A and B are shown apart, each in its own frame.
Chain A
Amino acid sequence: MTFTLPRDGSSLPLSHFFLAGLDPLDQVRISPILQRLEAGGALLPDSQIHRLEVIGILHSYGEVLDAYSRNLIFIADHQFLELFPAFKYFNGEITLGKWLRYLWHDRINYEFAEYCMKAMLWHGGGGLDRYLDTPEFVQRAKAAIRAKIRFNPFLQGLGILFPDFALEQVRMLAMYSGLGQFWRVMSDIFLSLSKRSETEPHLTIPEVVAHIQQGLVAAAGKPIAYAPCIWGRRYEIIPLSAGLTFLPDTAIPYVEAVFFRSFPFMGTVSYNAQAGQIPHEQADFAYGALYADPLPVGSAGIPPTLLMQDMMRHLPPRLREHYRRSPRGEEDLRVKICLSFQKAMFCVTTAALRALAPFPLETQDPQQQKANREFLTPWLQRLAGSRLLSMQEVFGM
């Protein structure tokens, strides 16, 4: 018996939807997810437990992102070319009490934000990354560097020996600022969702996705600029005229770098390198937040990160109680937070996909459906190897 595929796919039943490059088993497992997306759902199935986890963890994530964002912007603006930024995590408020708490590690792990920034810098992509290699940026950055090192013979000497050193530092500081501005928006979206859930306690997963999508769309055109103040004068390193905006120049590169390629779980890369599992192409990396195994492996694996530790401080009481009632109670809290975080990030990914899709995913127009499927195919192919399939259980923890 032969089976002929219609050329435009218009009369093809959904169950026969074919994603090139996937093995038959993954085809079968991905198919219901695609159907759900086209029916107005999300990558993550809707259930009471998922709602509790996703809304709760996004509240916690929003709080943490708020802190990260403020610190990244503080470093970019006020620690410009500081060779020994010993107090960069203090946000300008240096007191004995804060220092003692810092030494006792009673603080937010701002290092995590820097790891994310470095991931973005390393993987590149988007308008911000492209701009950092333009002559305009080099010219503006050099002007700022000259101003900064005017009274600093050490940095002047360093500049003579290593002419690109300071320039590379400024590129990094620009990325600090870009990520800080991106997270400012995301934090506000997540915190407003949390606030909304107080008045609308029965928000569903598709409603959560719609909330995030609205926030992303609303901020899509928000300009990204960077102008640190040096000796009382502001130097525009990324001017408004560069035309960088929130969605294409920070959000999408961030998703690519952190969600797909290299979420900074400490140990991820070293463990996979030891196992000879690092791909040759940077673009083929699949160690992002959506792929990371939340269970640590011995001492060299993928431990729940500093982020989980930070989110632990801001868990809403209902979610904490939900975790406490599970078999291991609070013993494996970071693993549970990580699992919930991944669920939430699949909602954010859904919102991004919906925002970027050529047509509304619920469309009944066959041509629009076809275009949407062409858009979704590479994404779903990439996600087939992620934690997506293991998140399809509605009770799993």
Chain B
Amino acid sequence: MLSLLIGIPLLGSIWIGLIPERAGKSIHRRLALGFGWVLFGLSAGLLLAFDPHLGSLQLAETMAWIPQLGLVYELGVDGISLPLVVMTGLLVLMAIWASGQVERPRLYYSLVLMLAAAVAGAFLAQNLLLFFLFYEVELIPLYLLIAIWGGPQRTYAATKFLIYTALSGILLLIGFFGLSWLSDAHSFTYTVLQAHPLPLVQQTLLLVPILLGLAIKIPLVPFHTWLPDAHVEASTPISVLLAGLLLKLGTYGLLRFGLQLLPDAWEQAGPWLAGWAVVNVLYGSLDALVQQDMKKLVAYSSIAHMGYILLATAAATPLSLVGSVFQMVSHGLISALLFLLVGAVYTNTGTRDLRLLQGLLNPERGLPLIGSLMVLGVMASGGTPGMVGFIAEFTIFRGSFPVFPLQTLLCMMGTGLTAAYFLLMVNRVFFGRLSEVATAMSRQQVRERLPAVVLATLVVVLGLQPAWATHWIEPTTADLAKSVALSAAATEGVVGKLTCFMACDSS
């Protein structure tokens, strides 16, 4: 079943790629939508096949591929990857839906589906080399999607993205090879490597390249500069995929490789990582405060929100780990929603400049639905109770505070700043008298708004009923936290850590 999640979009990519442009104006889009629905259906179907009571790997598939290299086709899903795979299915469908009529649809939809296959593969891979393969494959379609369908500075942004992410891949590969070579097992399989932990020094040495590689992908300050450029130049659906899925490859890597495979080094680096999280949150938020481009503002907001995930992963308590995975889901939904809405503003007004836009909430001539959803989206991003962002951030802060009280408090300031920069944006763009640039907007079709409505609904539903998401996550993160605590205790003989774990677990 898991192979289908990679195979179906890949098949779609090839199929669409084979249909010539002259075959029809909308055939590529219709096919892509069809494959998007199938992918979403399959990913949602995982929820039925997956046993939420088990924290272990499920639905595993294994096949030898190039045994000489240690490359084994190993797939599996657990509580960390399951929500991300389901979100992949959802956001790919939303991105295709939101794409509308594009130039060169054959190539465009083919690349989007190839990207979907690569991202799903990376989340499902249970082998370091297989993960790396998918991680690198994802670069090509995304580079082309920005470079061909992007804004005026698309070549610059796409090249920057390519260089940064390729460097990230090289660093990860160094770390992965090191993990395999230094381990007794000489394997690239996650479970095998987890069963053969390395000494602290070796773990620390390997954590550096892996962490740097992931820091570029997430991105963490100061490796973040490719992201605002890529977002600003990418078209709306690609920004949705970029923020909703691609960044999550980095944060997923923190849990999977940093915490799971290098627990002792991770535990040692914890305070530094929490400090880094604070820098990320505050720097991203302060940068967002001074942006004049709506898309750049949302991009910096994304950087800030990645800091919360780093904080939670650094704390590594059962609650904070649930929060970190939930924040990935929350940020995926909210940022995708915000990028869709910013895209709608841009499509209708021709600008994203906060100095030019005003009064778009105007019920008669503005974008009242877009404005209302934007208010909802920024409230969710700012952590307003009743929405998914609140649950994610509250869980992270509650779970991280016992371990890193100061860092957690500083990160909490970020939620205040989030409210500040988003309220400034909403106030400027949506309130007041409708600006002249927006008075001649044409009528909107409701179906064009449906992706945003779907995402907004999920933001509220999961905010009111978070257990519908967390009960898939919790057993795995609890097991992970337990194994990390046990490993740390075994290495250092520190009873305190276990005590803390027990305290956090009981809370």
- Chain A contact residues, CB within 8 Å of chain B: 293, 295-298, 301, 303-304, 327-329, 331-332, 334-335
Given that A296-B363, A296-B364 are contacting pairs, would A301 and B442 also be in contact in the complex, using a CB cutoff of 8 Å? no
Check if B361 sits within 8 Å of A328, measured CB to CB: no
Check if B433 sits within 8 Å of A301, measured CB to CB: yes
Check if A304 sits within 8 Å of B364, measured CB to CB: yes
Check if B443 sits within 8 Å of A328, measured CB to CB: yes
Check if B442 sits within 8 Å of A328, measured CB to CB: yes
Given that A328-B441, A328-B442 are contacting pairs, would A335 and B364 also be in contact in the complex, using a CB cutoff of 8 Å? yes
Complex alpha-carbon distance, A297 and B363, angstroms: 9
User: Hey, which chain B residues are within 8 Å of A301, CB to CB?
Assistant: 433
Given that A328-B443, A329-B443 are contacting pairs, would A295 and B364 also be in contact in the complex, using a CB cutoff of 8 Å? yes
Complex alpha-carbon distance, A334 and B434, angstroms: 16
Check if A331 sits within 8 Å of B434, measured CB to CB: no
User: Hey, which chain A residues are within 8 Å of B433, CB to CB?
Assistant: 293, 295, 297, 301
User: Hey, which chain B residues are within 8 Å of A303, CB to CB?
Assistant: 363
Give a binary string over B379-409; 1 marks a CB under 8 Å from any A CB, 0 the rest.
0000000000000000000000000000000
User: Hey, which chain A residues are within 8 Å of B365, CB to CB?
Assistant: 295, 328, 331-332, 335
User: Hey, which chain B residues are within 8 Å of A332, CB to CB?
Assistant: 364-365
User: Hey, which chain B residues are within 8 Å of A331, CB to CB?
Assistant: 364-365, 443
Instruction: Let me know if B194 is at the binding interface, CB within 8 A.
Output: no
Check if B359 sits within 8 Å of A297, measured CB to CB: yes
List 30 contacting pairs A-B, 8 Å CB cutoff, sorted by A. A293-B433, A295-B362, A295-B364, A295-B433, A295-B434, A296-B362, A296-B364, A297-B359, A297-B362, A297-B432, A297-B433, A298-B359, A298-B361, A298-B362, A298-B431, A298-B432, A301-B433, A327-B443, A328-B364, A328-B365, A328-B441, A328-B442, A328-B443, A331-B364, A331-B365, A331-B443, A332-B364, A334-B364, A335-B364, A335-B365
User: Hey, which chain B residues are within 8 Å of A327, CB to CB?
Assistant: 440-443
User: Hey, which chain B residues are within 8 Å of A328, CB to CB?
Assistant: 364-365, 441-443
Among A296, A301, A329, A334, max chain B CB count under 10 A is at: A296
How many B residues touch A, CB cutoff 8 Å?
A: 15
Give a binary string over B419-449; 1 marks a CB under 8 Å from any A CB, 0 the rest.
0000000000001111000011111000000
Cβ distance A320 to chain B, nearest Cβ, rounded Å: 15
- List 13 additional contacts besides A298-B431, A303-B363, A331-B364; criterion CB under 8 Å: A295-B359, A295-B364, A295-B365, A295-B434, A295-B439, A296-B362, A297-B359, A304-B364, A327-B440, A328-B441, A331-B443, A335-B364, A335-B365
Complex alpha-carbon distance, A301 and B432, angstroms: 8
Complex alpha-carbon distance, A304 and B363, angstroms: 11
Cβ distance A127 to chain B, nearest Cβ, rounded Å: 39
Cβ distance A284 to chain B, nearest Cβ, rounded Å: 22
Cβ distance B438 to chain A, nearest Cβ, rounded Å: 10
Closest to A330 in B: B443
Complex alpha-carbon distance, A334 and B432, angstroms: 19
Cβ distance B349 to chain A, nearest Cβ, rounded Å: 13
Q: Which 5 A-B pairs have the closest CB atoms?
A: A332-B364, A327-B442, A335-B364, A332-B365, A297-B433
User: Hey, which chain A residues are within 8 Å of B441, CB to CB?
Assistant: 327-328
Complex alpha-carbon distance, A334 and B433, angstroms: 16
Closest to A297 in B: B433
Cβ distance B357 to chain A, nearest Cβ, rounded Å: 14
Among B364, B432, B439, B442, max chain A CB count under 10 A is at: B364
Cβ distance A137 to chain B, nearest Cβ, rounded Å: 44
Complex alpha-carbon distance, A293 and B433, angstroms: 9
Cβ distance B445 to chain A, nearest Cβ, rounded Å: 11
User: Hey, which chain B residues are within 8 Å of A293, CB to CB?
Assistant: 433
Interface residues of B in 339-392 (CB under 8 A from A): 359, 361-365
Closest to B432 in A: A297
